[in-house]
Structure 1
Amino acid sequence: MPLALLRRPDPEHLDIVHEGESFRVAVRRRPSARRLTLRVSQATGEVIMTLPARTAIATAQRFAKSHGGWIAARLARVPERVPFAAGAAVPLRGVPHRIVHRGLRSGATMLDFVEGEPAISVSCEAAHVARRVRDLLDREVRRDLSAAVARYAQTMGQGPRRITVRDTRSRWGSCTARGELNFSWRLILAPPLVLDYLVAHEMTHLREMNHSNRFWTLLGELCPHVDEAEAWLKRNGATLHCYG
Protein backbone atom coordinates (compact mmCIF):
# COMPACT_ATOMS: atom_id res chain seq x y z
CA MET A 1 0.00 0.00 0.00
CA PRO A 2 1.43 3.45 -0.88
CA LEU A 3 3.02 5.36 1.96
CA ALA A 4 0.69 8.35 1.39
CA LEU A 5 -2.32 6.13 2.13
CA LEU A 6 -0.84 4.84 5.40
CA ARG A 7 0.17 8.23 6.80
CA ARG A 8 -2.24 10.14 9.02
CA PRO A 9 -3.50 13.46 7.65
CA ASP A 10 -1.19 16.35 8.46
CA PRO A 11 -2.31 18.76 11.19
CA GLU A 12 -3.12 22.26 9.97
CA HIS A 13 -0.61 23.71 12.42
CA LEU A 14 1.93 22.89 15.11
CA ASP A 15 2.31 24.71 18.40
CA ILE A 16 5.82 25.18 19.72
CA VAL A 17 7.11 26.87 22.85
CA HIS A 18 10.29 28.94 23.06
CA GLU A 19 11.39 30.65 26.29
CA GLY A 20 7.85 30.70 27.63
CA GLU A 21 6.27 31.99 24.41
CA SER A 22 3.94 29.84 22.31
CA PHE A 23 4.03 30.07 18.51
CA ARG A 24 1.59 28.58 16.03
CA VAL A 25 3.23 27.23 12.88
CA ALA A 26 1.10 26.50 9.80
CA VAL A 27 1.94 23.23 8.04
CA ARG A 28 2.17 23.10 4.24
CA ARG A 29 3.29 19.90 2.54
CA ARG A 30 4.70 20.33 -0.98
CA PRO A 31 5.74 17.31 -3.10
CA SER A 32 8.22 19.53 -4.93
CA ALA A 33 9.95 20.67 -1.70
CA ARG A 34 13.42 19.19 -1.12
CA ARG A 35 13.88 20.25 2.48
CA LEU A 36 12.08 21.68 5.47
CA THR A 37 11.74 25.46 5.34
CA LEU A 38 10.30 28.12 7.63
CA ARG A 39 9.14 31.62 6.78
CA VAL A 40 7.33 34.41 8.60
CA SER A 41 4.99 36.57 6.52
CA GLN A 42 5.75 40.24 7.07
CA ALA A 43 2.25 40.99 5.80
CA THR A 44 0.27 38.81 8.23
CA GLY A 45 2.71 37.58 10.86
CA GLU A 46 1.84 33.98 9.95
CA VAL A 47 4.58 31.40 10.53
CA ILE A 48 4.60 28.81 7.73
CA MET A 49 6.59 25.58 7.51
CA THR A 50 6.91 23.72 4.20
CA LEU A 51 7.51 19.97 4.29
CA PRO A 52 8.79 17.60 1.59
CA ALA A 53 6.48 14.71 0.68
CA ARG A 54 8.13 12.10 2.91
CA THR A 55 9.09 14.17 5.96
CA ALA A 56 7.40 12.95 9.16
CA ILE A 57 5.43 15.41 11.26
CA ALA A 58 7.55 14.48 14.29
CA THR A 59 10.64 15.58 12.37
CA ALA A 60 8.92 18.82 11.39
CA GLN A 61 7.96 19.44 15.04
CA ARG A 62 11.58 19.07 16.15
CA PHE A 63 12.74 21.32 13.31
CA ALA A 64 10.29 24.06 14.24
CA LYS A 65 11.17 23.83 17.93
CA SER A 66 14.89 24.08 17.18
CA HIS A 67 14.20 27.32 15.31
CA GLY A 68 12.11 28.90 18.07
CA GLY A 69 14.59 31.74 18.54
CA TRP A 70 14.59 32.51 14.82
CA ILE A 71 10.79 32.56 14.76
CA ALA A 72 10.64 34.89 17.77
CA ALA A 73 13.15 37.28 16.20
CA ARG A 74 11.28 37.41 12.89
CA LEU A 75 7.90 37.93 14.57
CA ALA A 76 9.36 40.82 16.58
CA ARG A 77 10.06 42.57 13.26
CA VAL A 78 6.50 42.25 11.94
CA PRO A 79 4.85 45.71 12.02
CA GLU A 80 2.21 46.18 14.71
CA ARG A 81 -1.36 46.21 13.43
CA VAL A 82 -3.05 49.62 13.14
CA PRO A 83 -6.86 49.35 13.09
CA PHE A 84 -9.01 51.89 11.31
CA ALA A 85 -10.27 53.43 14.53
CA ALA A 86 -10.66 56.93 15.92
CA GLY A 87 -7.28 58.40 16.83
CA ALA A 88 -5.23 56.08 14.62
CA ALA A 89 -2.79 57.59 12.14
CA VAL A 90 -3.06 56.20 8.60
CA PRO A 91 -0.78 57.20 5.71
CA LEU A 92 -2.66 58.51 2.70
CA ARG A 93 -0.41 59.02 -0.33
CA GLY A 94 2.45 58.73 2.15
CA VAL A 95 1.19 61.51 4.45
CA PRO A 96 -0.07 60.55 7.95
CA HIS A 97 -3.77 61.30 8.43
CA ARG A 98 -5.45 61.08 11.83
CA ILE A 99 -8.84 59.32 11.89
CA VAL A 100 -11.26 61.74 13.54
CA HIS A 101 -14.71 60.54 14.60
CA ARG A 102 -16.67 63.76 14.52
CA GLY A 103 -20.13 62.46 15.45
CA LEU A 104 -22.66 59.62 15.51
CA ARG A 105 -24.99 61.08 12.89
CA SER A 106 -24.43 59.55 9.47
CA GLY A 107 -22.54 61.95 7.21
CA ALA A 108 -19.91 62.11 4.50
CA THR A 109 -16.45 60.72 5.12
CA MET A 110 -13.99 63.34 3.98
CA LEU A 111 -10.39 64.46 3.90
CA ASP A 112 -9.99 67.37 6.26
CA PHE A 113 -7.61 69.32 8.49
CA VAL A 114 -8.20 69.07 12.23
CA GLU A 115 -6.09 71.20 14.56
CA GLY A 116 -3.83 71.96 11.61
CA GLU A 117 -3.12 68.32 10.77
CA PRO A 118 -4.38 66.16 7.85
CA ALA A 119 -7.32 64.01 8.90
CA ILE A 120 -9.85 61.48 7.69
CA SER A 121 -13.06 62.82 9.16
CA VAL A 122 -15.81 60.28 9.81
CA SER A 123 -19.38 60.80 11.01
CA CYS A 124 -21.26 57.59 11.82
CA GLU A 125 -21.82 55.09 14.59
CA ALA A 126 -18.54 53.88 16.11
CA ALA A 127 -19.04 50.35 14.79
CA HIS A 128 -18.94 51.65 11.20
CA VAL A 129 -15.80 53.82 11.40
CA ALA A 130 -13.46 51.17 9.97
CA ARG A 131 -15.72 50.49 7.00
CA ARG A 132 -16.13 54.19 6.25
CA VAL A 133 -12.37 54.73 6.27
CA ARG A 134 -11.82 51.70 4.06
CA ASP A 135 -14.46 52.94 1.60
CA LEU A 136 -12.77 56.34 1.37
CA LEU A 137 -9.37 54.77 0.73
CA ASP A 138 -10.90 52.55 -1.93
CA ARG A 139 -12.40 55.57 -3.69
CA GLU A 140 -9.12 57.47 -3.54
CA VAL A 141 -7.01 54.62 -4.90
CA ARG A 142 -9.44 54.01 -7.77
CA ARG A 143 -9.23 57.70 -8.65
CA ASP A 144 -5.43 57.69 -8.66
CA LEU A 145 -5.20 54.40 -10.55
CA SER A 146 -7.64 55.55 -13.23
CA ALA A 147 -5.72 58.80 -13.73
CA ALA A 148 -2.34 57.04 -13.98
CA VAL A 149 -3.67 54.37 -16.35
CA ALA A 150 -5.23 57.04 -18.61
CA ARG A 151 -1.96 58.96 -18.69
CA TYR A 152 0.14 55.92 -19.64
CA ALA A 153 -2.50 54.69 -22.10
CA GLN A 154 -2.22 57.99 -23.96
CA THR A 155 1.56 57.63 -24.12
CA MET A 156 1.48 53.97 -25.18
CA GLY A 157 -1.52 54.17 -27.47
CA GLN A 158 -3.23 51.29 -25.69
CA GLY A 159 -4.94 50.59 -22.41
CA PRO A 160 -6.21 47.68 -20.29
CA ARG A 161 -9.50 45.87 -20.74
CA ARG A 162 -10.34 46.32 -17.07
CA ILE A 163 -8.90 47.57 -13.77
CA THR A 164 -9.58 45.62 -10.58
CA VAL A 165 -8.74 46.67 -7.02
CA ARG A 166 -8.21 43.97 -4.40
CA ASP A 167 -6.50 43.34 -1.07
CA THR A 168 -3.66 41.20 -2.40
CA ARG A 169 -0.92 39.90 -0.11
CA SER A 170 1.74 38.52 -2.42
CA ARG A 171 1.91 41.24 -5.09
CA TRP A 172 1.08 44.92 -5.53
CA GLY A 173 -0.14 44.58 -9.09
CA SER A 174 -0.56 42.10 -11.92
CA CYS A 175 -1.52 41.92 -15.59
CA THR A 176 -3.43 39.01 -17.09
CA ALA A 177 -3.01 37.60 -20.58
CA ARG A 178 -6.39 39.19 -21.39
CA GLY A 179 -5.00 42.64 -20.65
CA GLU A 180 -6.74 43.08 -17.29
CA LEU A 181 -4.85 44.95 -14.57
CA ASN A 182 -5.15 44.15 -10.86
CA PHE A 183 -3.85 46.36 -8.05
CA SER A 184 -3.75 46.37 -4.26
CA TRP A 185 -5.84 49.10 -2.65
CA ARG A 186 -2.96 49.57 -0.21
CA LEU A 187 -1.02 51.48 -2.85
CA ILE A 188 -2.98 54.57 -1.79
CA LEU A 189 -1.07 54.41 1.51
CA ALA A 190 2.29 54.81 -0.26
CA PRO A 191 3.79 57.98 -1.77
CA PRO A 192 2.29 58.77 -5.21
CA LEU A 193 5.44 57.81 -7.09
CA VAL A 194 4.99 54.21 -5.89
CA LEU A 195 1.46 53.89 -7.27
CA ASP A 196 2.56 55.60 -10.47
CA TYR A 197 5.44 53.15 -10.87
CA LEU A 198 3.22 50.10 -10.28
CA VAL A 199 0.77 51.33 -12.93
CA ALA A 200 3.62 51.87 -15.39
CA HIS A 201 4.97 48.41 -14.55
CA GLU A 202 1.69 46.64 -15.25
CA MET A 203 0.93 48.76 -18.30
CA THR A 204 4.29 47.71 -19.73
CA HIS A 205 3.15 44.09 -19.42
CA LEU A 206 0.43 44.87 -21.96
CA ARG A 207 3.27 44.82 -24.51
CA GLU A 208 5.82 42.60 -22.81
CA MET A 209 4.30 39.78 -20.74
CA ASN A 210 7.67 39.02 -19.16
CA HIS A 211 10.56 40.68 -17.37
CA SER A 212 12.97 40.63 -20.29
CA ASN A 213 15.47 43.35 -21.12
CA ARG A 214 12.92 44.77 -23.55
CA PHE A 215 10.40 45.02 -20.71
CA TRP A 216 12.77 46.96 -18.44
CA THR A 217 13.88 49.22 -21.26
CA LEU A 218 10.30 50.15 -22.13
CA LEU A 219 9.41 50.63 -18.46
CA GLY A 220 12.40 52.91 -17.97
CA GLU A 221 11.27 55.00 -20.92
CA LEU A 222 7.77 55.32 -19.49
CA CYS A 223 8.60 55.87 -15.83
CA PRO A 224 11.55 57.98 -14.60
CA HIS A 225 11.44 56.78 -10.98
CA VAL A 226 11.64 52.97 -11.24
CA ASP A 227 14.62 52.61 -8.92
CA GLU A 228 13.28 55.05 -6.32
CA ALA A 229 9.88 53.36 -6.18
CA GLU A 230 11.31 49.85 -5.97
CA ALA A 231 13.69 50.92 -3.20
CA TRP A 232 10.77 52.42 -1.24
CA LEU A 233 8.74 49.21 -1.58
CA LYS A 234 11.70 47.11 -0.50
CA ARG A 235 12.16 49.23 2.64
CA ASN A 236 8.52 49.94 3.51
CA GLY A 237 6.22 47.65 1.56
CA ALA A 238 5.57 45.25 4.44
CA THR A 239 4.34 48.08 6.66
CA LEU A 240 1.44 48.80 4.27
CA HIS A 241 -0.11 45.50 5.31
CA CYS A 242 -0.40 46.47 8.96
CA TYR A 243 -3.24 48.95 8.39
CA GLY A 244 -6.90 48.07 8.68
Structure 2
Amino acid sequence: MSDTFLPGDPPIPLKLRRSARAKRISLRISQLDGRVTLTMPKRLAAREALAFAQSKEPWIRQHLEARGADVTVGLGTELPLGGRLVQVVPGRGRSVQLGRDEIAVPGPEDRVGKRLGAYLREVARDRLASACDDYAARLGHSYSRITMRDTRSRWGSCTSDGALMFSWRLIMTPPEVLDYVAAHEVAHLAEMNHSPAFWAGVERIYGPYKEPRNWLRTEGNALHRFRF
Protein backbone atom coordinates (compact mmCIF):
# COMPACT_ATOMS: atom_id res chain seq x y z
CA MET A 1 0.00 0.00 0.00
CA SER A 2 1.36 3.44 -0.90
CA ASP A 3 0.36 7.03 -0.18
CA THR A 4 -0.45 9.84 -2.58
CA PHE A 5 -2.74 12.88 -2.75
CA LEU A 6 -5.76 13.87 -4.77
CA PRO A 7 -5.12 17.50 -5.84
CA GLY A 8 -7.55 20.18 -4.71
CA ASP A 9 -8.25 22.56 -1.87
CA PRO A 10 -7.36 20.96 0.42
CA PRO A 11 -5.52 17.98 -1.08
CA ILE A 12 -7.02 14.62 -0.06
CA PRO A 13 -4.63 11.89 1.17
CA LEU A 14 -5.16 8.60 -0.68
CA LYS A 15 -4.04 5.09 0.17
CA LEU A 16 -3.30 3.13 -3.01
CA ARG A 17 -3.83 -0.59 -2.56
CA ARG A 18 -3.11 -3.19 -5.24
CA SER A 19 -5.02 -6.46 -5.07
CA ALA A 20 -4.62 -9.60 -7.12
CA ARG A 21 -8.32 -10.32 -6.57
CA ALA A 22 -9.60 -6.90 -7.62
CA LYS A 23 -11.20 -6.86 -11.07
CA ARG A 24 -11.99 -3.15 -11.05
CA ILE A 25 -11.11 0.07 -9.25
CA SER A 26 -12.98 0.77 -6.03
CA LEU A 27 -13.04 3.56 -3.44
CA ARG A 28 -13.69 3.24 0.27
CA ILE A 29 -13.94 5.99 2.89
CA SER A 30 -13.51 4.86 6.48
CA GLN A 31 -16.07 6.43 8.80
CA LEU A 32 -13.71 5.79 11.70
CA ASP A 33 -10.70 7.85 10.62
CA GLY A 34 -11.69 9.37 7.26
CA ARG A 35 -9.06 7.37 5.38
CA VAL A 36 -9.71 7.17 1.62
CA THR A 37 -8.49 3.88 0.13
CA LEU A 38 -8.26 3.32 -3.62
CA THR A 39 -8.09 -0.38 -4.47
CA MET A 40 -7.06 -1.42 -7.98
CA PRO A 41 -6.14 -4.54 -9.95
CA LYS A 42 -2.53 -5.58 -9.49
CA ARG A 43 -1.35 -4.75 -13.03
CA LEU A 44 -3.32 -1.55 -13.56
CA ALA A 45 -1.28 1.63 -14.04
CA ALA A 46 -1.47 3.94 -11.04
CA ARG A 47 -2.35 6.90 -13.27
CA GLU A 48 -5.57 5.17 -14.33
CA ALA A 49 -6.59 4.63 -10.72
CA LEU A 50 -5.81 8.27 -9.88
CA ALA A 51 -7.87 9.42 -12.87
CA PHE A 52 -10.76 7.38 -11.50
CA ALA A 53 -10.34 9.02 -8.08
CA GLN A 54 -10.33 12.48 -9.69
CA SER A 55 -13.59 11.68 -11.46
CA LYS A 56 -15.09 10.88 -8.03
CA GLU A 57 -13.68 13.94 -6.28
CA PRO A 58 -17.05 15.63 -5.59
CA TRP A 59 -18.39 12.38 -4.07
CA ILE A 60 -15.26 11.95 -1.90
CA ARG A 61 -15.38 15.53 -0.59
CA GLN A 62 -19.10 15.29 0.11
CA HIS A 63 -18.62 12.17 2.25
CA LEU A 64 -15.60 13.59 4.09
CA GLU A 65 -17.54 16.77 4.87
CA ALA A 66 -20.50 14.76 6.17
CA ARG A 67 -18.17 12.76 8.44
CA GLY A 68 -16.65 15.87 9.99
CA ALA A 69 -13.07 16.59 10.96
CA ASP A 70 -11.18 14.87 13.74
CA VAL A 71 -11.12 16.72 17.06
CA THR A 72 -7.94 16.99 19.13
CA VAL A 73 -9.17 17.10 22.71
CA GLY A 74 -7.93 20.01 24.81
CA LEU A 75 -9.17 22.93 26.87
CA GLY A 76 -12.41 24.26 25.42
CA THR A 77 -13.33 21.05 23.60
CA GLU A 78 -16.93 19.92 23.86
CA LEU A 79 -17.34 16.17 23.85
CA PRO A 80 -20.12 13.70 24.62
CA LEU A 81 -19.98 11.94 27.96
CA GLY A 82 -22.75 9.73 29.24
CA GLY A 83 -25.02 11.00 26.49
CA ARG A 84 -24.59 14.72 27.18
CA LEU A 85 -22.12 17.35 26.01
CA VAL A 86 -19.52 18.59 28.49
CA GLN A 87 -16.80 21.17 27.99
CA VAL A 88 -13.19 20.55 28.99
CA VAL A 89 -12.02 23.31 31.35
CA PRO A 90 -8.88 23.89 33.48
CA GLY A 91 -8.92 22.03 36.80
CA ARG A 92 -7.34 22.47 40.20
CA GLY A 93 -5.72 19.96 42.49
CA ARG A 94 -4.68 16.51 41.34
CA SER A 95 -7.82 14.81 40.07
CA VAL A 96 -10.22 15.24 37.17
CA GLN A 97 -13.59 16.57 38.32
CA LEU A 98 -16.82 15.95 36.40
CA GLY A 99 -19.62 18.47 36.75
CA ARG A 100 -22.98 18.80 35.07
CA ASP A 101 -21.79 20.63 31.96
CA GLU A 102 -18.01 20.72 32.44
CA ILE A 103 -15.14 18.38 33.11
CA ALA A 104 -12.18 20.02 34.85
CA VAL A 105 -8.73 18.61 34.03
CA PRO A 106 -5.72 19.83 36.05
CA GLY A 107 -2.13 19.89 34.87
CA PRO A 108 -0.21 21.33 31.88
CA GLU A 109 -2.37 22.30 28.93
CA ASP A 110 -0.47 20.07 26.51
CA ARG A 111 -1.26 17.02 28.70
CA VAL A 112 -5.00 17.63 29.05
CA GLY A 113 -6.08 15.24 26.30
CA LYS A 114 -3.89 12.38 27.49
CA ARG A 115 -4.90 12.83 31.12
CA LEU A 116 -8.58 13.02 30.26
CA GLY A 117 -8.33 9.90 28.11
CA ALA A 118 -6.78 7.97 31.01
CA TYR A 119 -9.52 9.18 33.34
CA LEU A 120 -12.27 8.13 30.94
CA ARG A 121 -10.77 4.65 30.63
CA GLU A 122 -10.97 4.21 34.41
CA VAL A 123 -14.53 5.51 34.59
CA ALA A 124 -15.53 3.25 31.70
CA ARG A 125 -14.01 0.22 33.42
CA ASP A 126 -15.88 0.90 36.66
CA ARG A 127 -19.16 1.53 34.88
CA LEU A 128 -18.90 -1.52 32.61
CA ALA A 129 -17.79 -3.82 35.45
CA SER A 130 -20.85 -2.79 37.45
CA ALA A 131 -23.17 -3.38 34.50
CA CYS A 132 -21.58 -6.75 33.67
CA ASP A 133 -21.87 -7.90 37.29
CA ASP A 134 -25.58 -7.11 37.18
CA TYR A 135 -26.27 -8.79 33.84
CA ALA A 136 -24.11 -11.85 34.65
CA ALA A 137 -26.14 -12.37 37.83
CA ARG A 138 -29.37 -12.16 35.84
CA LEU A 139 -28.03 -14.60 33.26
CA GLY A 140 -26.66 -17.04 35.80
CA HIS A 141 -23.19 -17.13 34.23
CA SER A 142 -19.96 -15.55 35.43
CA TYR A 143 -17.18 -13.91 33.41
CA SER A 144 -13.46 -14.30 34.06
CA ARG A 145 -12.14 -10.77 33.49
CA ILE A 146 -12.80 -7.41 31.83
CA THR A 147 -10.34 -5.40 29.74
CA MET A 148 -10.62 -1.95 28.14
CA ARG A 149 -9.26 -1.15 24.68
CA ASP A 150 -9.65 1.55 22.04
CA THR A 151 -11.02 -0.76 19.38
CA ARG A 152 -12.24 0.43 15.99
CA SER A 153 -14.02 -2.61 14.55
CA ARG A 154 -16.16 -3.62 17.52
CA TRP A 155 -17.56 -2.22 20.75
CA GLY A 156 -17.06 -5.39 22.74
CA SER A 157 -16.24 -9.07 22.60
CA CYS A 158 -16.50 -12.25 24.66
CA THR A 159 -14.10 -15.20 24.47
CA SER A 160 -14.84 -18.86 25.09
CA ASP A 161 -13.11 -18.66 28.49
CA GLY A 162 -15.41 -15.85 29.64
CA ALA A 163 -13.11 -12.87 29.09
CA LEU A 164 -14.97 -9.67 28.22
CA MET A 165 -13.43 -6.78 26.27
CA PHE A 166 -14.98 -3.36 25.68
CA SER A 167 -14.12 -0.10 23.96
CA TRP A 168 -13.59 2.51 26.66
CA ARG A 169 -15.29 5.03 24.34
CA LEU A 170 -18.62 3.51 25.41
CA ILE A 171 -18.44 5.92 28.36
CA MET A 172 -19.18 8.66 25.80
CA THR A 173 -22.48 7.05 24.77
CA PRO A 174 -25.87 7.44 26.47
CA PRO A 175 -26.09 5.17 29.54
CA GLU A 176 -28.61 2.83 27.95
CA VAL A 177 -26.23 2.21 25.03
CA LEU A 178 -23.35 1.26 27.34
CA ASP A 179 -25.71 -1.02 29.26
CA TYR A 180 -26.87 -2.68 26.05
CA VAL A 181 -23.31 -3.48 24.95
CA ALA A 182 -22.54 -4.89 28.40
CA ALA A 183 -25.64 -7.09 28.24
CA HIS A 184 -24.82 -8.14 24.67
CA GLU A 185 -21.38 -9.41 25.59
CA VAL A 186 -22.53 -11.02 28.84
CA ALA A 187 -25.23 -12.88 26.88
CA HIS A 188 -22.42 -14.49 24.87
CA LEU A 189 -21.37 -16.31 28.05
CA ALA A 190 -24.37 -18.56 27.40
CA GLU A 191 -24.55 -18.40 23.59
CA MET A 192 -21.34 -17.89 21.59
CA ASN A 193 -23.29 -16.93 18.46
CA HIS A 194 -26.02 -14.57 17.25
CA SER A 195 -28.78 -17.15 17.12
CA PRO A 196 -32.41 -16.44 18.11
CA ALA A 197 -31.55 -17.97 21.50
CA PHE A 198 -28.78 -15.41 21.94
CA TRP A 199 -31.03 -12.43 21.16
CA ALA A 200 -33.69 -13.84 23.47
CA GLY A 201 -31.03 -13.89 26.18
CA VAL A 202 -30.13 -10.24 25.54
CA GLU A 203 -33.78 -9.24 25.78
CA ARG A 204 -34.27 -11.28 28.96
CA ILE A 205 -31.43 -9.60 30.87
CA TYR A 206 -31.58 -6.14 29.26
CA GLY A 207 -34.99 -5.59 27.71
CA PRO A 208 -35.85 -4.19 24.25
CA TYR A 209 -32.51 -3.49 22.57
CA LYS A 210 -33.28 -2.16 19.08
CA GLU A 211 -32.96 1.54 19.93
CA PRO A 212 -29.50 1.39 21.57
CA ARG A 213 -28.33 -1.01 18.88
CA ASN A 214 -29.44 1.44 16.18
CA TRP A 215 -27.80 4.33 18.04
CA LEU A 216 -24.43 2.59 17.79
CA ARG A 217 -24.93 1.97 14.08
CA THR A 218 -25.82 5.58 13.29
CA GLU A 219 -23.90 7.61 15.90
CA GLY A 220 -21.13 5.37 17.22
CA ASN A 221 -18.50 6.01 14.56
CA ALA A 222 -18.48 9.74 15.37
CA LEU A 223 -16.97 8.97 18.79
CA HIS A 224 -13.73 7.90 17.09
CA ARG A 225 -13.20 11.44 15.81
CA PHE A 226 -12.04 12.56 19.26
CA ARG A 227 -8.27 12.28 19.59
CA PHE A 228 -6.93 12.13 23.12
Q: How does 1:203-214 map to 2 (within 5 A)?
A: 203-214=186-197
Helix, strand or coil at the partner of 1:49: strand
Matched with 2:178 is 195
Q: How does 1:160-175 map to 2 (within 5 A)?
A: 160-175=143-158
User: Once structures 1 and 2 are overlaid, which stretch shifts more, 49-58 or 150-159?
Assistant: 49-58
CA gap 1:59/1:211 in 2 versus in 1, 3 angstroms: farther
RMSD of Structure 2 on Structure 1 (CA): 2.0
Structure whose CA Rg is larger: 1
User: Once structures 1 and 2 are overlaid, which stretch shifts more, 48-57 or 175-184?
Assistant: 48-57
1:204 and 1:49 map into 2 onto residues whose CA distance is 38
**Cα contact 1:16–1:24 (8 A) shared by 2:** yes
Count of residue correspondences: 227
CA gap 1:225/1:56 in 2 versus in 1, 3 angstroms: farther
User: Once structures 1 and 2 are overlaid, which stretch shifts more, 28-37 or 216-225?
Assistant: 28-37
Matched with 1:136 is 119
Q: How does 1:14-163 map to 2 (within 5 A)?
A: 14-18=4-8, 20-103=9-92, 107-112=94-99, 117-163=100-146
**Cα contact 2:157–2:164 (8 A) shared by 1:** yes
Q: State the 1:143 CA deviation.
A: 0.8
1:174 and 1:49 map into 2 onto residues whose CA distance is 30
User: Once structures 1 and 2 are overlaid, which stretch shifts more, 162-171 or 207-216?
Assistant: 207-216
CA gap 1:176/1:36 in 2 versus in 1, 3 angstroms: farther
Matched with 1:4 is none
* Amino acid across the alignment from 1:210: N
Helix, strand or coil at the partner of 1:77: helix
Matched with 1:242 is 225
1:193 and 1:228 map into 2 onto residues whose CA distance is 9
**Cα contact 2:141–2:190 (8 A) shared by 1:** no
**Cα contact 1:193–1:225 (8 A) shared by 2:** no
Per-residue CA deviations over 1:16-44 (Å, capped at 9, x if unaligned) read 225x4421111233444443221111221
Per-residue CA deviations over 1:46-98 (Å, capped at 9, x if unaligned) read 11122344444333222222211111111111123332211111211011111
Helix, strand or coil at the partner of 1:62: helix
